[in-house]
Amino acid sequence: MSLRSRVVERVMGALFLGCGALSVLTTVGIVVVLATQSLGFFSDVSPLEFLAGARWSPDLAPRSFGILPLLNGTLLIAAGALLVALPVGLATAVYLSEYASRRTKRIVKPALEILAGIPTVVYGYFAVAFVTPILRAVFPAAGVFNAASAALVVGIMILPMVSSLSEDALSAVPRSLREAAYSLGATRFEVSTRIVVPAGLPGIAASFILAVSRAIAETMVVTLAAGATPRMTLDLLESVQTMTAYIVQASLGDAPSGTVEYRTLFAVGLFLFLITLALNLLSQRLIGRFREIHP
Amino acid sequence: MSSNTVLETVGLSVRYGETRVIDDVSLRIPENRVVAFIGPSGCGKSTLLRCFNRLNDFVPAARITGQVLFRGRDLYGAEVDPADVRRSIGMVFQKPNPFPKSIFENIAFGLRINGFQDDIGDRVEASLRAASLWDEVSHRLDADALGLSAGQQQRLCIARALAVEPEVLLMDEPASALDPIATGRIEDLIGDLRGDYTIVVVTHNMQQAARISDDTAFLYMGELLEYKETQRLFTNPEDERTEAYITGRLG
């Protein structure tokens, strides 16, 4: 190797290392900031109050820092969204993988993936301007801001991801299993529901968990459509506030840096981060297991 | 047509797009005999086999002309439900393909979808015995089928096919992925089933064809060159290409 190409090799190697290190260091940096600021928060507020308190009122006296109402809002909307996205997403995946002609699949699958690229603010606007008025016409009890509208639209938003990833999992089930089942006289429906879906289950579960993770982390739709009322409720027609929507609200507000109100941002952020991290790790483990079964 | 013909093809051709893989094949498979399809790779023997249970339906590019008759009835007739066809004509594949379920469930699946409700346990046992697998698995029917050896998996697949009481068993190189001992057991099993089922076996192994079959068909580049009693085909081939293939000079 000539001196010049050796130098180029060295420089390029260092450059690639640098790019890789940048993203890793950024992540580490975010975690460090979240952790140190949260540490400050927890020196003022006991972790028990934070995790078990049922009232969230960080700026209005009497102040109270129980995250449960925010967690309630987040989980309520996520649950509603999943109620829409999981069944419809799985059914779409089964259709694409087992029923659709190759031509249909070639058109529909990329279309779904494009749908996944629509900016979330558009979905948020769609919720407020289109879904909420319909909901209020059907259910007069529904508020201008309500959890149902946000849940419905978040569900539609994560639907392409669920169907696309589940379809990948179903398509990865070896053809030989389908042939074996068909050879026993099974119908398409029996092959789909009793052989292909069970065999693809780890991959489907992984896509479901990623969907949960996205529904929990979703920000724009819930901020625009669900309102800003932290409360303990299971009523989808009421206004609620999610963890993400609170973070938006607090970031836009004028809580001076260094105060407890300011630090709530980081504590809630850390809590949210830990939830989605755990879900993503679980999803990755499932996908890893799936690969072991169907290499 | 003699009354004991089970399967028959009349002027059967199969095309994949522009390529003709089966060219005007007419043959009869008599009842309760073991028929071997032999020929070099790519001669169309597996494609021909898959015409008998309409598995080629799932290959969008495949075009079939001519007729395939099952007990005189056109298998590709408009009123024929392919699922019904496959219930009567079972199949065992080249690579063992048990479902990722328990040993018991592998066999119970076919029974349940075909409406068997009573004595599923007895039928599972009978099928496992018929495939000479019962003694090895009777104490662990709930174990994952993927934990069995390849040879055991293949016998499980045979048991699974037998459970739904087919008339015909199609076998697509059933021993090609197995070691010699497991291969021997599959061949013994075919010997046990001989006389009770009509069996069509695709194989690239001529000694195997000679050992297990009553009749042998030699296919070459999509054409049926010779089809007669196995012993006669191997001792007294008429077509010089058959002779060249069985003596190892062709293929």
CB count within 10 Å of CB B167 equals: 16
Q: What is the pLDDT of residue A228?
A: 87
Chain A contacts of B53, Cβ < 8 Å? Answer: 183
Q: Taking CB atoms and an 8 Å limit, are A184 and B95 in contact across chains?
A: no
Domain that holds residue A73: 67-293
Q: How many domains does chain A have?
A: 1
Cis check: omega of the bond before A62, within 30 degrees of 0: yes
pTM (predicted TM-score)? 0.86
Q: What is the pLDDT of residue A143?
A: 87
Q: What is the pLDDT of residue B2?
A: 46
Domain assignment present for A77: yes
Domain assignment present for A38: no
Residues above pLDDT 90, as percent of chain B: 86
Domain assignment present for A6: no
Query: Is A187 a residue whose pLDDT tops 70?
Result: yes
User: Which residue of A lies nearest to B96 if distances are taken between CA atoms?
Assistant: A176
Residues 6+ apart with CB under 8 A from B121: none
Report whether A184 contacts A153 (CB < 8 A). no
Q: What is the pLDDT of residue A250?
A: 87
Q: What is the pLDDT of residue A294?
A: 62
Domain assignment present for A190: yes
- Mean pLDDT (chain A) is 91
Q: Taking CB atoms and an 8 Å limit, are B86 and A182 in contact across chains?
A: yes
Is A70 an interface residue toward B (CB < 8 Å)? no
Of A61-65, B27-31, B137-141, B212-216, the one with minimum mean pLDDT is A61-65
User: Which residue of B lies nearest to A188 if distances are taken between CA atoms?
Assistant: B83
Of A118-127, A199-208, A253-262, B14-23, the one with minimum mean pLDDT is A253-262
> Which residue would you say has higher pLDDT here, A294 or B233?
B233
- Mean pLDDT (chain B) is 93
Sheet holding B73-74, edge to edge: B19-30, B5-16, B62-70, B73-74
Domain assignment present for A33: no
Quote the CA–CA distance of A16 and A22 in Å, as a whole number.
Answer: 10
What is the identity of the amino acid at B32?
A: N
Would you call A158 helix, strand, or coil by DSSP?
helix
Q: What is the pLDDT of residue B97?
A: 95
CATH code of A233's domain: 1.10.3720.10
Of A51-65, A156-170, B49-63, B165-179, the one with minimum mean pLDDT is A51-65
Chain A contacts of B86, Cβ < 8 Å? Answer: 182-186
Q: What is the pLDDT of residue A136?
A: 94
Domain assignment present for A11: no
Domain assignment present for A191: yes
Q: What is the pLDDT of residue A295?
A: 53
Report whether A164 contacts A112 (CB < 8 A). yes
Q: What is the pLDDT of residue B251?
A: 64
Average pLDDT rounded to a whole number, residues A193-214: 93
Residues above pLDDT 70, as percent of chain B: 98
Beta bridge partners of B86: none
Q: What is the pLDDT of residue A273?
A: 93
Domain assignment present for A39: no
pLDDT in tens, A232-285: 999 999 999 999 999 998 888 777 887 888 889 999 999 999 999 999 898 888
Query: Is B188 a residue whose pLDDT tops 80?
Result: yes
Quote the CA–CA distance of A247 and B47 in Å, as a whole number.
Answer: 62
Q: How far is CA B33 from the centre of its chain?
A: 12
